[in-house]
A and B are shown apart, each in its own frame.
Chain A
Amino acid sequence: GAVVSQHPSWVICKSGTSVKIECRSLDFQATTMFWYRQFPKQSLMLMATSNEGSKATYEQGVEKDKFLINHASLTLSTLTVTSAHPEDSSFYICSAEQGFDEQYFGPGTRLTVT
C-alpha cells in the first residue's frame, strides 16, 4: 500500500517553455501533498505544501508564479514549471500524506532545461 507515482520520470525541455509534472496517490486519498526539490548529493528541500481544493503554501524563497501547483483531487497534484530556465534543472519529488504526518514519496522527475 501507500504507492505514489510521478509522471514523467524525466523530461527535457527548451528554455522558456513550461513543463507539467503529475503526482498521483494510487491506493489512498491524500488531502495533503508536498513538492520537494533535490540537488545532487543534497537533502530534500520543501518547495510547497498543497491541500486539496485550496491554494498551495509556498516555502520562503520559492517563486509561486514560476512553480504553479494545483491539487484538484484527493489523488492528484500537479507542478508546472513556467518559463523554465537552465537553473530550474533539478530532481523534483512529490510526496503524499497518509495518516498523521506519514509521507510517501513518488519516484521523482528529472527535469533538464536546455
Chain B
Amino acid sequence: GENVEQHPSTLSVQEGDSAVIKCTYSDSASNYFPWYKQELGKGPQLIIDIRSNVGEKKDQRIAVTLNKTAKHFSLHITETQPEDSAVYFCAASPGYSTLTFGKGTMLLVSP
C-alpha cells in the first residue's frame, strides 16, 4: 500500500518568513495530493490540493508543488503569520477514495 513520509515534524519560523513542508510517497499510482491544516482540538481543514496532471498550484500565500518523477510534493507558505501556527498533514491517494496521511508537521510562527 501507499506510504507517505513527511518532514520536518516541527518547524519554527519568524512571522513574515516562508515555511516549506515536504512529503514523499511510495505508490506511483497516486494521483491526488491534498494538504490539511489542523488547529488544536479541531478537525483537519483542506487548504490546498494538487492532482498529478499539474506541477504547481497557488492560492494566495500557499502553494503546492509536485514532482511525480521523484515522488515528492511540498507545501510552501509565504509571509507566515501567527495564525498559520497549526499542524499540517499531507496525504496521497491512488484513487478509490483512500487517503494515506503523513505524520504531520507542527508549524510554530513567532510574532
Residues of A bordering B, CB below 8 Å:
2, 4, 6, 32, 34, 42-44, 46, 49, 93, 95, 97, 100-108, 110
Nearest A residue (CB) for B6: A43
Contacts of A103 in B (CB 8 A): 34, 46, 97, 99
Q: Name B's interface SS.
A: loop
Take A49-B97, A102-B49, A105-B44 as given contacts and tell me if A42 and B34 are in contact as well, using a CB distance cutoff of 8 Å: no
- B111 at interface (Cβ–Cβ under 8 A)? no
Residues of B bordering A, CB below 8 Å:
32, 34, 36, 41-46, 49, 89, 93, 95, 97-99, 101-104
| A43 and B103 contacting across the interface, CB-CB below 8 Å | yes
For the complex, give the distance between the alpha carbons of A4 and B46 in Å. 12
Nearest B residue (CB) for A104: B46
From the candidates B41, B44, B95, B97, name the one contacting A44 in the complex (CB within 8 A): B44
For the complex, give the distance between the alpha carbons of A100 and B44 in Å. 18
| A43 and B99 contacting across the interface, CB-CB below 8 Å | no
- Min CB distance, A61 to chain B, in Å? 14
| B101 and A43 contacting across the interface, CB-CB below 8 Å | yes
For the complex, give the distance between the alpha carbons of A93 and B99 in Å. 14
From the candidates B42, B46, B89, B98, name the one contacting A102 in the complex (CB within 8 A): B46
For the complex, give the distance between the alpha carbons of A33 and B70 in Å. 31
CB pairs A–B below 8 angstroms (5 shown): A43-B102, A100-B95, A101-B93, A102-B34, A102-B49
